[in-house]
Structure 1
Amino acid sequence: MSSTEQPGIRAGTPHAVPPTSPRVGDGETPRSVRLTGLTLNVRARAARRDGLPPALYVHGLGGSSQNWSALMELLDETVDGEAVDLPGFGHSPPPDDGDYSVTGHARAVIRYLDAAGRGPVHLLGNSMGGAVSTRVAAVRPDLVRTLTLVSPALPELRPQRTALPTALLAFPGIAPLFGRLTRDWTAERRTREVLALCYGDPGRVSPQGFRAAVEEYERRLTLPYFWDSLAGSARGIVNAYTLGGQHSLWRQAERVLAPTQLVYGGRDLLVSFRMARRAKAAFRDSRLLTLPEAGHVAMMEYPEVVAGAFRELLAEAGRRPDRTAMTSETLMRGA
């Protein structure tokens, strides 16, 4: 069900993903994890049997842990899965230091994994969460067993028009201005606008899923930090795009040792489909799944296909030497 790369789709900047999944898993249990200066909401799905390897799912800009519910349900016989609400999103409050940078979000993920003692994990990220997960895998290879990236927000040179509104959120004063200009928009309208940008076919969202997304949007609009977290994280992505040297996301992608599964959608309006080829070349141990009909959130539109690719990644990685152990030994030697 994969395809070769299609031409003609221009480069883009990541946009907010739908606030909730079209299929919310009933078997999930949320909990609040308190760390110094940080509180994270973590949504866990009980594994079907004991002894399964741990996995952590990281959402994108404007999203939440619920974006992974459909995939988590399909993989509960394969991994012991948890999904995190990044600081300021979902049910996680803002960080005390107000740091919404990609590095700040990556630090939150690392702190959680260190505190939980679950590493190394199978790490999955979408959009901004893909950039965050790339940074985690590069700077803490001991915490990441495999890496799965769905439309990762890696730097692109030419933004496409559909992504410009989100990029503009990075500029001071734009977020509150946009809030004032759209104050008469209903939650239904806001949800339809986001779904139209993020889905290759918004018609795949069920009526029940749409109502859940609207209710979640209504809840978020009441949060005093809603626009701050969105604008701060958008600014963090733009800033990450400008970094060079060892802090460049592309340079860090080249440093990732974990086997990597890349997933790109042919109808993605926000991350260019043609970036799939560059990503495949950057990650040293990678395989590529391209879905011609998918948009920005393939794990929500085609969870069965993404789940199949993930299982194949794990099967292939299981036939290789334990790179995590080798990396840990290298780190201890000070290399």
Structure 2
Amino acid sequence: MSSTESPDARAVPVVPPGRPSWVSRGEEVRTVTLPGATMAVRSREPAQEGLPPALYLHGLGGSSQNWSALMDRLAGHVDGEALDLPGFGDSPPPDDRDFSITGCARVVIRYLDARGRGPVHLLANSMGGAVATRVAAVRPDLVRTLTLISPALPELRPQRTAVPTGLLAVPGIASFFARATKDWTPERRTREVLALCYGDPGRVTPEEFERAVAEFERRLELPYFWDVMARAARGIVDSYTLGGQHSLWRQAERVLAPTLLVYGKRDQLVSFRMAHRASKTFRDSRLLTLLESGHVAMMEDPDAVARAFRDLLTDTAATAERSATPRG
């Protein structure tokens, strides 16, 4: 992308905060400067000509790296880009320090408008799923299909295993946790996260574990790491309390894009019981249930997610073709 594409989206050399994150073979990471935010964007190289655009959004504490396995499997079907949302991965915090779901949605919309890539196939996990739902509801012109993997939509009775993560939103808790765990090794921190996010942490290969440890070490060096986690967690909790037209469930009802919902039966952060409500709420939806997966199905079982997404692509294209065929 050159600076002539848009005055609001300038590709510049990657200058990540501290050490850069891991870049898998066949990927490239660049930074894009928007008004009020600078974001790292991960993509496969080179992109195949003529493929429809896709955009991937990660969850709380995640990064664009979370999508590498799925991006690799879908490289011949979509021209994918994965964002490091502001404050995560290699993206610094936004100028306004707004980590709310609405604030993140505004940044995503700003990026898509500046790039002129819409409508995109929008794929998102957890917190990113809430952001993507809001984007699809308020800007349906930007979203061709929606794929939500364990989306962080409001739960009246969250699982007990999700409570500690939610407590990060309480003022002072994040800094307290940082002090209480200051002697934890990166290996221990990584094991704790994997045990929470994976249905079976044993599926993580030694190489993947080593990369995850290195990424945890890198993030802990960032002076804003705990502040971003606290503010983003607060943004999720705050979104659960919004009513009326700003309610995420109300906005889910407004989504027009064909929607693939992916839920792991072993998810400890988003209750599997929410799959039924989501299936009833999104008007044009299909559900993929993965019995052995937890919260990050695109990392735990990328083959199954890729198959379901390809089916969505095929069916959506067939529907569009039928609609375009003259009758009579």
Q: Unaligned stretches of 5+ in structure 2?
A: 1-20
Q: Tell me the secondary structure at the aligned position of residue 320 of structure 2.
A: coil
- Choose between structure 1 and 2 for higher RCO, CA contacts under 8 A separated by at least 6 residues: 1
2:157 is matched with which residue?
Answer: 158
The one-character-per-residue Cα deviations of 1:9-38 (angstroms, maximum 9, x if unpaired) are xxxxxxxxxxxx9x9631111001001110
The one-character-per-residue Cα deviations of 1:32-65 (angstroms, maximum 9, x if unpaired) are 1001110000001136631000000000000000
Partners in 2 of 1:70 and 1:205 — Cα distance? Answer: 12
Partners in 1 of 2:23 and 2:191 — Cα distance? Answer: 18
Partners in 2 of 1:108 and 1:37 — Cα distance? Answer: 9
Partners in 1 of 2:162 and 2:48 — Cα distance? Answer: 42
Partners in 1 of 2:146 and 2:305 — Cα distance? Answer: 13
The one-character-per-residue Cα deviations of 1:272-322 (angstroms, maximum 9, x if unpaired) are 111100000000000000011110001101000000000000111112238
Partners in 2 of 1:152 and 1:260 — Cα distance? Answer: 12
Partners in 1 of 2:25 and 2:113 — Cα distance? Answer: 28
TM-score, normalised via structure 1 length: 0.88
Given residue 124 of structure 2, which amino acid in structure 1 is its aligned partner?
G
Does the aligned pair in 2 maintain the 1:47–1:77 contact within 8 Å? no
The one-character-per-residue Cα deviations of 1:69-109 (angstroms, maximum 9, x if unpaired) are 00000000000000000000000000000000000111111
Q: Tell me the secondary structure at the aligned position of residue 55 of structure 1.
A: strand
Is it true that 1:306 corresponds to 2:305 in the alignment?
yes
Q: Unaligned stretches of 5+ in structure 1?
A: 1-20, 326-335
Partners in 2 of 1:192 and 1:259 — Cα distance? Answer: 36
Partners in 1 of 2:95 and 2:48 — Cα distance? Answer: 37
Partners in 1 of 2:301 and 2:24 — Cα distance? Answer: 16
2:7 is matched with which residue?
Answer: none
Does the aligned pair in 1 maintain the 2:169–2:233 contact within 8 Å? yes
Partners in 1 of 2:228 and 2:166 — Cα distance? Answer: 14
Given residue 101 of structure 2, which amino acid in structure 1 is its aligned partner?
V
2:280 is matched with which residue?
Answer: 281
1:255 is matched with which residue?
Answer: 254
| 1:132-151 to 2 correspondences below 5 Å | 132-151=131-150
The one-character-per-residue Cα deviations of 1:109-148 (angstroms, maximum 9, x if unpaired) are 1111111111110000000000000000000000000000
Q: CA RMSD, aligned part only?
A: 1.5
Is it true that 1:193 corresponds to 2:192 in the alignment?
yes
Does the aligned pair in 1 maintain the 2:71–2:80 contact within 8 Å? yes
TM-score, normalised via structure 2 length: 0.90
Q: Tell me the secondary structure at the aligned position of residue 97 of structure 1.
A: coil
Partners in 1 of 2:241 and 2:62 — Cα distance? Answer: 23
Does the aligned pair in 2 maintain the 1:58–1:65 contact within 8 Å? yes
* Runs of at least 4 residues off by over 2 Å: 46-49
Does the aligned pair in 2 maintain the 1:47–1:79 contact within 8 Å? no
Identity %: 74
